[in-house]
Amino acid sequence: MSEVARYRVHDLQEFCCAVLQELQVPPLDAKEVSECLVAADLRGVDSHGVVRLPVYVRRIRQGVVNPRPVTRVVHERGNAVLFDGDNGLGPVVGLRAMQKAIALAEISGSGIAGVRRSNHFGIAAFYVHKAIHQGFIGFAASNAPPHMAPFGGRARFLGTNPIAVGIPAGGEPPLLFDASTSVVARGKIIVAAQEGKPIPSDWAIDTDGNPTTDANAALAGSVLPFGGAKGSAISFILDILCGVLTGSGFALNLHRLEDLGVEQNLGHFFAAVRTDLFISGKDFAARMDEILHMLKSSPAGAGTSQVLAPGELERQNEARNQVLGIPLLQSIVDQLAELGESLGLAFPKAADTMGLAETQP
Amino acid sequence: MSEVARYRVHDLQEFCCAVLQELQVPPLDAKEVSECLVAADLRGVDSHGVVRLPVYVRRIRQGVVNPRPVTRVVHERGNAVLFDGDNGLGPVVGLRAMQKAIALAEISGSGIAGVRRSNHFGIAAFYVHKAIHQGFIGFAASNAPPHMAPFGGRARFLGTNPIAVGIPAGGEPPLLFDASTSVVARGKIIVAAQEGKPIPSDWAIDTDGNPTTDANAALAGSVLPFGGAKGSAISFILDILCGVLTGSGFALNLHRLEDLGVEQNLGHFFAAVRTDLFISGKDFAARMDEILHMLKSSPAGAGTSQVLAPGELERQNEARNQVLGIPLLQSIVDQLAELGESLGLAFPKAADTMGLAETQP
């Protein structure tokens, strides 16, 4: 890992923000998108971090993403609202929708916000983190373009449709679950292909539908849903909530980030729930602490030292990266520096050159 | 399968109903519970069917289940209500809660009903079927006593917490997903133990936390969550929704059906959503038909003839069993007949002795 250097969180956010503003993204929108990207790197989810900035920029330059969307509520019913993303960057409408769901929950106990005509929204954890921070249970999901075979199938049909759930506790850290509905993120297979390494046979199938350990064959084929028929069904249901229910695109109608000639037309689904929906907020916090404590006290299995709560590993990454800076591969830095150069913007210096503590992962 | 005979749906419902009424369960409650049990057998989910009647009866006789509960709403907030099950049979309060969630959704677009102080509620599909039947999207979940190790653990902590989602379509049959959050239902391991057969090594671990192919060692140990860390997190989150949020029992505080000295104290979580929450109901139905048709048209994988929609297999079982009668093992029939005898009730005759068409499975 000698080609890794660490960069300050603030520096990366500033850089992304400046790049997006050069592309005519309004300052506040640029700030939100930048925070969403860097939040992924902070949590160690590199596949959804600043590495995505170049493709976001390419899509704006190609005119298939609107840099200045007029996001608006197009439908209201009870404690539910539907947003039209006006084909803007996903985090822009995503964050507004999550905030609206929280505001509705504040008043009504729970709130729902659907989104249509949106784009890649980064990590789902970004949105439920906002809910947790304000003391609410949060739920965020998106559909995604087809890269995954359904259970019993051999061709791409489903997205790796992500889902995140955040639940505040009392003294214990909150629960923050965020996962794709594939066995593994496609990003891991891309890395294996780059390194020329084989992959486990249960991650993906080739274009003929056969299990493969060849990362390139897997990338040409389809990733597999987590948990067999059950995970496949959950992914399908998320596509229905995000795409079918909202009037957005779904399944085979969705387009990849790399398809530079066409809008993605993704849909999202957000919900927030008050922790005192049924019992007092104080009781809820105490009971959350109790169940989390029970989980952490559960005897560990072979090869593990402790049972981890959902999101605990990512929280550890975040704490470390917040202090030491975010580790980026030189190849990623080169791409970002080149992008900056094309806009007359300098990529920030690595944190270790500024005297910050540094340990290689 | 020579020890299997088929029984008419109506006959089994009548028998269960008569047994429960003998135990002082009011007629309407007895009818609902009977329908719930037989609905499982109809769908081919034998583990949750009439085979459970004897333990329901034992629990009433032991005084740990209340045959005449006064179920009531103990809290209301916006479009959400909390029911107290008064320690009655799960389907009694479960059905009322689902109906209330549907009624709230009718008015508000969506509705939530939590339940505390309940018992085993049968198959989750029973409840979302009610939602589908009335044209609503339905969601049902329950927590369950600890039989499952969390991801990274080696001891029982989670229940096999079931979740069901039902979504109406237009011309296509509705989607009805119902699953435990374990790799397989514990019932399958019980059957393997009875038949002296080995089980796959990824189903369960022994009491030391090691993977095992010995069904008896698995039953003494813990089943494993579906989909590794992701399924484990989903199961944990369901326990929080059903148990922590509602003020009911959760995780290690829950008691097994077989623990005849103590209340189970289970919690449930139901929700309903209008299909026209964001777009017209007609559009939603057409879009559901489209995504279901897309799924069914997706190329089938090796060894399968067609990609199945979630719940399609169970719907096929139901159609067959509705016509031919429900197949029951002689050993189950003997138990039920003995139970009936103790109450002066005759178990019904097999359907094939009454001239109904019969083909052995």
pLDDT digits (tens, 9 = 90+) for A151-160: 999 999 999 9
User: CA of B163: how far to CAs of A102, A152, A164, A287, B34, in Å?
Assistant: 25, 21, 17, 22, 21
List of chain A residues whose C-beta atoms are within 8 Å of the C-beta of residue B106: none
The distance of B277 to chain A (nearest Cα, Å) reads 7
Are B267 and B314 contained in the same domain?
Answer: yes
Pick the residue from chain A with its C-alpha nearest to B226: A227
List of chain B residues whose C-beta atoms are within 8 Å of the C-beta of residue A300: 152-154
Are A78 and A53 contained in the same domain?
Answer: no
Residue A74 backbone class (left: φ over 0; alpha: ψ -120 to 50; beta: rest) = alpha
Are B12 and B96 contained in the same domain?
Answer: no
Tell if the CB–CB gap between A301 and B231 is shorter than 8 Å.
no
Cα gap B48→B2, rounded to integer Å: 22
Label each residue of A263-298 as H, E or C: CCCEEEEEEEEECCCCCCHHHHHHHHHHHHHHHHHC
Are A205 and A237 contained in the same domain?
Answer: no
Cα gap A184→A313, rounded to integer Å: 16
Tell if the CB–CB gap between B165 and A237 is shorter than 8 Å.
yes
DSSP state of A300: B
Q: Write out pLDDT tens, residues B129-139.
A: 999 999 999 99
Strand locations in chain A (E) = 4-7, 72-77, 80-84, 110-118, 136-142, 163-167, 175-179, 204-205, 222-223, 266-274, 326-329
Are A126 and A205 contained in the same domain?
Answer: no
Last residue of a domain, one of A196, A224, A252: A224
Both tokens of residue A359?
A: 């340990």
Are A210 and A340 contained in the same domain?
Answer: no
The distance of A190 to chain B (nearest Cα, Å) reads 21
Are A197 and A129 contained in the same domain?
Answer: no
Q: Nearest 5 degrees, angle CA A94-CA A95-CA A99?
A: 120
List of chain A residues whose C-beta atoms are within 8 Å of the C-beta of residue B231: 226-227, 230-231
Residues above pLDDT 70, as percent of chain A: 97
Tell if the CB–CB gap between A294 and B157 is shorter than 8 Å.
yes
Q: How much is the pTM?
A: 0.96
* Beta carbons within 8 Å of B63's beta carbon, 6+ residues apart: none
The pLDDT of residue B153 is 96
Residue B197 backbone class (left: φ over 0; alpha: ψ -120 to 50; beta: rest) = beta
The pLDDT of residue A190 is 85
pLDDT band (50, 70, 90) for residue B259: very high
Are B304 and B329 contained in the same domain?
Answer: no
- The kind and range of the H/E element at B204 are strand B204-205
The pLDDT of residue A359 is 45
Pick the residue from chain A with its C-alpha nearest to B84: A278
Are A147 and A37 contained in the same domain?
Answer: no
In this prediction the ipTM stands at 0.96
How many Cβ atoms from other residues are within 10 Å of residue B147's Cβ?
20
- The kind and range of the H/E element at B176 are strand B175-179
Q: Is A37 helix (H, G, I), strand (E, B) or coil?
A: helix
Are B49 and B88 contained in the same domain?
Answer: no
Based on the structure, what is the number of domains in chain A? 3
List of chain B residues whose C-beta atoms are within 8 Å of the C-beta of residue A314: none
pLDDT band (50, 70, 90) for residue B353: low
Tell if the CB–CB gap between B251 and A291 is shorter than 8 Å.
yes
Nearest to A266 by CA among A41, A51, A64: A64
Tell if the CB–CB gap between B247 and A302 is shorter than 8 Å.
no
- Greatest mean pLDDT among B23-37, B177-191, B346-360 lies in B23-37
Tell if the CB–CB gap between A294 and B252 is shorter than 8 Å.
yes
Q: Between B119 and B190, whose confidence is greater?
A: B119
Tell if the CB–CB gap between A110 and B80 is shorter than 8 Å.
yes
The distance of A147 to chain B (nearest Cα, Å) reads 13
pLDDT band (50, 70, 90) for residue A353: low
Tell if the CB–CB gap between A149 and B298 is shorter than 8 Å.
yes
Tell if the CB–CB gap between A80 and B277 is shorter than 8 Å.
yes
Q: Write out pLDDT tens, residues B28-56.
A: 999 999 999 999 999 999 889 999 999 99
* Beta carbons within 8 Å of B181's beta carbon, 6+ residues apart: B148, B158, B160, B161, B162, B163, B225, B226, B231, B232, B234, B235, B238
The pLDDT of residue B49 is 93
Last residue of a domain, one of B198, B222, B246: B222
Question: Which of A100, A177, A298 is the mutation pick for testing B, counting most B CBs within 10 A?
Answer: A298
Are A137 and A250 contained in the same domain?
Answer: yes
CATH number of the domain within which A12 lies: 1.10.1530.10
The pLDDT of residue B195 is 87
Nearest to A75 by CA among B275, B136, B105, B279: B279
Are B137 and B105 contained in the same domain?
Answer: yes
What mean pLDDT do residues A265-282 have? Answer: 98
Q: Write out pLDDT tens, residues A336-352.
A: 999 999 999 999 999 86
Pick the residue from chain A with its C-alpha nearest to B151: A307
Q: Give every strand in the sheet of B175-179, ordered side by side.
A: B72-77, B80-84, B110-118, B266-274, B136-142, B163-167, B175-179
- Domain containing A205 equals 183-224
Tell if the CB–CB gap between A167 and B237 is shorter than 8 Å.
yes
Question: Which of B75, B156, B202, B230 is the mutation pick for testing A, counting most A CBs within 10 A?
Answer: B230
In this complex, the residue of B107, B226, B247 whose CB is nearest that of residue A279 is B247
What mean pLDDT do residues A67-91 have? Answer: 97
Q: Write out pLDDT tens, residues A1-56.
A: 448 999 999 999 999 999 999 999 999 999 999 999 999 999 999 889 999 999 99
CATH number of the domain within which B297 lies: 3.30.1370.60
Tell if the CB–CB gap between B287 and A244 is shorter than 8 Å.
yes
pLDDT of B1 over the 70 cut = no
Residue found by looking up tokens 């593990």 in the block: A304
In this complex, the residue of B210, B278, B298 whose CB is nearest that of residue A153 is B298
CATH number of the domain within which B196 lies: 3.30.60.50
pLDDT of A360 over the 80 cut = no
